[in-house]
Amino acid sequence: MIRKQRILLVHNYYKIPGGEDTVIENERRLLENHGHEVILYTRSNSEMDSLSKVGKLCLPFMTLFSVKTYNDVKKLIIQYKIDVVHVHNTLSLVSPSVYYAAFSCGVPVVQTVHNFRMLCPAATFVRNGKVCEECLEHGLACAIRYGCYRNSRMQTFMSAAILKIHRILGTYKKLYYICLTEFNKEKLLLLNKKGKEFVREERIFIKPNFVWRFEKEKVIKKKGYIYIGRLEKLKGIRLLLEAWRELPEAPLILCGSGPEEEWVKSYLEENHMEQVKLMGQLSHEEVMRHLAESKALILPTLCYEGQPMVILESYAAGTPVLASDLGNAGNMVIPEVTGFRFAPGDPAAIRETVKKMEQTESWDTQSFYERFYTPEKNYEILKNIYDRVGKD
* Peptide bond between residue 222 and the one before it cis (omega within 30 degrees of 0): yes
What is the C-alpha to C-alpha distance for residues 158 and 314, in angstroms, rounded to an integer? 37
Q: What letter does residue 326 receive in the DSSP assignment?
A: S
What is the C-alpha to C-alpha distance for residues 178 and 207, in angstroms, rounded to an integer? 6
pLDDT tens, per residue, the chain with 392 residues: 578 999 999 999 998 788 899 999 999 999 999 999 999 999 999 998 888 888 888 888 889 899 999 999 999 999 999 999 999 999 999 999 999 999 999 999 999 999 999 999 999 999 988 899 999 889 999 999 999 998 999 889 999 999 999 999 999 999 999 999 999 999 999 999 878 899 999 999 999 999 999 876 656 667 899 999 999 999 999 999 999 999 999 999 999 999 999 999 999 999 999 999 999 999 999 999 999 999 999 999 999 999 999 999 999 999 999 999 999 999 999 999 999 999 999 999 999 999 999 998 888 898 999 999 999 999 999 999 999 997 77
Q: Where do runs of H (alpha helix) occur along the chain?
A: 19-33, 53-64, 67-80, 97-104, 134-138, 141-146, 153-169, 182-188, 237-244, 261-270, 284-292, 309-316, 327-331, 347-358, 365-372, 375-391
* Peptide bond between residue 324 and the one before it cis (omega within 30 degrees of 0): no
Residue by residue, DSSP assigns 277-317 as EEEES--HHHHHHHHHTSSEEEE--SS--S--HHHHHHHHT
CATH topology of domain 6-210+374-391: Rossmann fold (3.40.50)
- The structural domains of the chain, with segments of one domain joined by +, span 6-210+374-391, 225-372
Is residue 114 within 8 A of residue 23, CB to CB? The reply is: yes
pLDDT for the residue 220: 63
pLDDT for the residue 1: 58
**Domain pair 6-210+374-391 / 225-372, same fold:** yes
CATH topology of domain 225-372: Rossmann fold (3.40.50)
Q: Residue 89 burial by CB count (10 A; 0-12/13-18/19+): exposed, middle or buried?
A: buried
Phi, psi of 167 (to 5 degrees): -65, -45
What is the C-alpha to C-alpha distance for residues 297 and 224, in angstroms, rounded to an integer? 9
